[in-house]
Amino acid sequence: MSVVPLLWREIQHRKLNFAAALLAVVAAVAVCVAVVTLCDASQRETTRLMRNLGFNVLIVPKNVNMADFWSEDFAREEMPEEYVHRLAQSRDMSVRHLVARLQKKIEWRGRVVLLTGILPEVPMAHGPQKDPMGLDLPRGTAYVGYQLARVLRIKAGDTIEIGGKALRVTRLLDEKGGKDDIRIYAHLHDVQEILGKPGCINEIEALGCLCAGGDGIERIRAELARALPDTQVTEFESIARARSETRFMVERYAAFLIPTVLVACGLWVFLLALSNVRERRVEIGLLRSLGVRSGSIAGLFLGKAALVGLLGALVGYGLGTWVALHFGPRIFPVTAKSFAPLPALLGWALLVAPLLCIVASYLPAMLAVTQDPAEVLREE
């Protein structure tokens, strides 16, 4: 008798056992697909949220004393604006989102303010283009810090004059609890005109790809030494650490959960197959005594396992994708519009699920074909 009729009869007569095994595989595949899809979304969400922490790399002229820089919050030395464009044209750089700034403390309306000129992000000439970071102020406009606006009674829509140049206030910044509260932002070229420093900047902010091992900043320094030898690089360590640790936390979570689910599924299928073999010792003994070959009996159990795996992969992929797409946008609202099925997971499910079921059913199948039918029937 061929394996296919035996397999069909096996499913018909053992519906509960088949359904239980199928449920295990569907649950395992659904959980894995949902977790991988959500982890993919989590990576995007984490990247976007961590990006909101701000830049983590600062490039300043080489002769800047960083102790003075941190005490004053700006560099007194300057470098050409052309540097940021040269950096954007460089290949194989570990920094992205380049923003050039020129800032200086000035007296204005009887107060010390930090005047900051910002050039909108310069896109990298090589590599994928990403959403820009930093502020994008049109020429002739300004953003005013919270404390300055409060003390000097500045309102959005007002026109202020700095160094003989009129700027329209288009935004009042929220309270930050630091030097940003006494800062006035304007377009870089407007600030260059106000300070009489055309073509000059004193820092470049960037987002660097910093590794967890701590060697990322050294790699960036080596790259900058080649591209801009008369500059120095420092890292905002707390921001870099937060990015790195959060990213690796998400990866470790997925690396732990998915193997755990697969092992649990394999154990469930193994126990069901083993229970099926033990319950049917007499039936298997009769089949062996009637001349049914050992290969057919082994094929019955392994074929059933493969079928369970294939059906479980199809149903589980659909269920897991639905769960991820239904609940994911609520969990990760910032990147909700980026949610989409991952078709590659279907191929992996169709490969791994049947293989897992066959491996889990192999020992019970070997137990079924190696038992002596005469001894089994004598016991009964």
Residue with tokens 């700006």: 74
- Residue 330 pLDDT exceeds 60: yes
Neighbouring residues of 339: CB distance < 8 A, sequence distance ≥ 6: 37, 41, 324, 325, 328, 329, 332
Mean pLDDT of the chain: 78
The Cα–Cα gap between 153 and 148 comes to 8
Q: Which among 62-66, 101-105, 222-226, 269-273 has the top mean pLDDT?
A: 101-105
Task: Round to whole Å and give the CA distance between 239 and 235.
Answer: 9
> Reduced to 3 DSSP states, what percent helix, strand and coil does the chain have, rounded to the nearest 5?
60, 15, 25
Over residues 210-237, mean pLDDT: 74
C-alpha 335/C-alpha 80 separation (Å) is 37
pLDDT higher than threshold 70 for residue 206: yes
- The first and second tokens of residue 234, run together, are 């420092």
Contact (Cβ atoms closer than 8 angstroms) between residue 328 and residue 339:
yes
Q: For residue 137, what are its two tokens?
A: 């102020």
pTM of the model: 0.57
Does residue 121 surpass a pLDDT of 80? yes
pLDDT at position 101, please?
A: 92
At residue 319 the predicted structure's pLDDT band, cuts being 50, 70 and 90, is: very high
Q: What is the predicted pLDDT for the residue at 256? A: 73
pLDDT for 213 equals 46
Extended strands (E) in the chain? 57-61, 79-80, 95-108, 111-118, 141-144, 159-162, 165-172, 183-187, 200-201, 203-208, 231-235
Backbone angles phi, psi at 255, to 5 degrees: -65, -25
Highest mean pLDDT: which range of 4-13, 155-164, 252-261, 325-334: 155-164
27 vs 339, higher pLDDT: 27
Q: What is the pLDDT of residue 115?
A: 94
CB distance 264 to 29 below 8 Å = no
Higher pLDDT, 165 or 47: 165
Cβ atoms of 24 and 311 within 8 Å: the answer is no
Position 136 pLDDT exceeds 60: yes
Q: What are the CA-CA distances from residue 202 to residues 52, 73, 77, 94 (Å)? A: 23, 11, 6, 21
Q: How far is it, in rounded angstroms, from Cα 24 to Cα 1?
A: 30
CA distance 57 to 69: 14
What confidence tier does 73 reach under pLDDT thresholds 50, 70, 90? confident
Quickly state the pLDDT bin for 367 (edges 50, 70, 90): low
What's the chain's Rg over C-alpha atoms?
33
Please report, as a single letter, which amino acid is at residue 243.
R
DSSP state of 214: S
pLDDT above 80 (res 286): no
Which stretch of 51-65, 131-145, 204-218 has the lowest confidence by average pLDDT?
A: 204-218
At 355, list the tokens. Answer: 């293989």
Residue for token pair 């470098």: 79
Q: Would you say residue 336 has pLDDT above 70?
A: no
Question: Average pLDDT of 81-87?
Answer: 91
Report DSSP state, residue 164: T
| Among 67-81, 185-199, 230-244, the least confident range | 230-244
pLDDT of residue 327: 84
